[in-house]
Amino acid sequence: MRPRNFLESLNCAAEGIIHALKTQTHLKVHFIFLILLIILSLALNIAIYDFGILMLLSSLVIMAELFNTAIEYMMDIFTKDFHITVKYVKDISAGAVLFVSLMSLLLGVQIISKYIIFQSPNVAENMFFISTSALFLSVFAVVFLKALFRSGRPFRGGMPSGHAAVSFSLFVSICLASNSLLIIILSFLAAIIVSFSRFYRGIHKKSEVLYGAVLGTVITLILHKIFYR
């Protein structure tokens, strides 16, 4: 069935990623490495442009793995028995993942090593990048927990509330970055309204909204506490 709107399209895409995460061990490893890479980048205080290159390389590896998974499913539609052409198609798509992974590893090691040796500064001195990293980690945590609890859809319902996690992550970052009491109060009210709307509309239970808010708050506080200088 075709998606009826943009949100439905997002749900379908996210469900594809979650299904691949549930069934593909290599993809789970790639996502874990991506999270560790974000944390390592903050810990090493790497330059912003190097951080962007690392994120691009990680995205290419994950994208290649997703395409490889899709191709394997497509080949299984044609035949469940051994067929040499099907084997070659699967091997070639897996080879593409291997090639991208090795090249990304090579470039990643070159980028990371210069900061271990020379301790070059940048990202951890920029609150924006820490806040952005906290936001992404909050989203990753929500996706993993929804896959774990097998409840709701990626952008609708389930444990925990992604809207609450994102809104409170943003609220905490604004609190730490702003000296204006008015801005802090307004951002808090916005986070409360967004979170409460999920419960009011019957999309989430109170506990799901609460856990989402706590998740976004804790992740953001930890990153700022550890990495901001």
Residues 6+ apart with CB under 8 A from 176: 127, 224, 228
Name the domain boundary from 92, 123, 154.
Answer: 123
95 and 167 together in one domain: no
End-to-end CA distance of the chain: 50
Stretch 23-50: mean pLDDT, rounded?
A: 87
How much is the pTM? 0.64
Predicted local confidence at residue 217, as pLDDT: 94
Name the domain boundary from 123, 155, 179.
Answer: 123
178-189 pLDDT, tens per residue? 888 899 999 999
114 pLDDT higher than 70: yes
Q: Are 131 and 171 in contact (CB under 8 A)?
A: no
Instruction: Name the residue range of residue 38's domain.
Output: 1-123
SS3 call for 153 = strand
69 and 142 together in one domain: no
93 and 175 together in one domain: no
Residues 6+ apart with CB under 8 A from 203: 156, 157
| Nearest partner of 156 among 145, 146, 166, 167, judged by Cα | 146
10 and 102 together in one domain: yes
123 pLDDT higher than 80: no
168 pLDDT higher than 90: yes
Number of domains making up the chain: 2
Q: Name the band, by pLDDT with cuts 50, 70 and 90, for residue 54.
A: very high
What's the mean pLDDT when you consider all of the chain? 83
84 and 147 together in one domain: no
171 pLDDT higher than 90: yes
* Percentage of residues in the chain having pLDDT higher than 90: 20
Lowest mean pLDDT among 7-21, 150-164, 215-229: 150-164
141 and 65 together in one domain: no
Helices (H) and strands (E) in the chain, counts: 8, 0
Stretch 221-228: mean pLDDT, rounded?
A: 83
73 and 159 together in one domain: no
Q: Name the band, by pLDDT with cuts 50, 70 and 90, for residue 203.
A: confident
Q: Are 56 and 88 in contact (CB under 8 A)?
A: no
More confident residue, 194 or 7: 194
CB atoms within 10 A of CB 80: 8
95 and 30 together in one domain: yes
What is the rounded distance in angstroms from the CA atom of residue 83 to the CA atom of residue 100? 26
Q: Are 130 and 224 in contact (CB under 8 A)?
A: yes
Q: Give the CATH number for residue 105.
A: 1.10.287.3610
Stretch 34-50: mean pLDDT, rounded?
A: 87
Name the domain boundary from 81, 106, 123.
Answer: 123
Half-sphere exposure of 95 (CA within 13 A, CB side): 6
Predicted local confidence at residue 118, as pLDDT: 56
More confident residue, 152 or 56: 56
102 and 20 together in one domain: yes
116 and 102 together in one domain: yes
199 pLDDT higher than 70: yes
115 and 183 together in one domain: no
Cross-strand pairs, 156: 153
Q: Are 96 and 68 in contact (CB under 8 A)?
A: yes
Stretch 38-57: mean pLDDT, rounded?
A: 88
114 and 167 together in one domain: no
| Nearest partner of 59 among 33, 93, 94, 40, judged by Cα | 33
Q: Any idea what DSSP says for residue 24?
A: -
Stretch 2-26: mean pLDDT, rounded?
A: 80
